[in-house]
Structure 1
């Protein structure tokens, strides 16, 4: 999967959710995923709580972030 595929599943508009990155087609901020995961929620729980977000969007974003970390060598 290309790095851009994850980014294609996100969008950002100044007049939508104060310009935060959101999952495309929703008003769910990307930060909500990371905050929920940090607090111990599973991906399945997140998807249940935010039904507009697709599993493919979450997986693409997590894959993208993992590749970013691998590229920085950290």
Structure 2
């Protein structure tokens, strides 16, 4: 399975949702999508709640988190 390139679907813009990462063309934050998955929602349930999202948008959110979290851990460790 090929990995989604989140850069094609996720945008960080200071004028959009206070600079939080969002899905391009929407005001839907990546954190909301990740949180919904963590709460046990299926892709279908998320798409039903936010019809403008696709499976690729949800996968891009996961890919973004996978890429960002390792650097977050490094920054957190350095601050301790």
Is the shorter-chain TM-score for this pair beyond 0.5, marking a shared fold? yes
Gaps of at least 5 residues in structure 2 are 68-80
Following superposition, which runs of at least 4 residues in structure 1 exceed 2 angstroms of deviation?
59-62, 64-68
Please tell me the root mean square deviation across aligned C-alpha atoms, in Å: 2.4
How does the TM-score come out when normalised to structure 1?
Answer: 0.72
Which runs of 5 or more residues in structure 1 are unaligned?
69-74
Q: Matched residue pairs, number?
A: 67
TM-score (norm 2): 0.68
Deviations 1:28-53 (A, max 9, x none): 00001111111111111011111121
Query: How far, CA to CA, are the matches of 1:17 and 1:65 in structure 2?
Result: 17
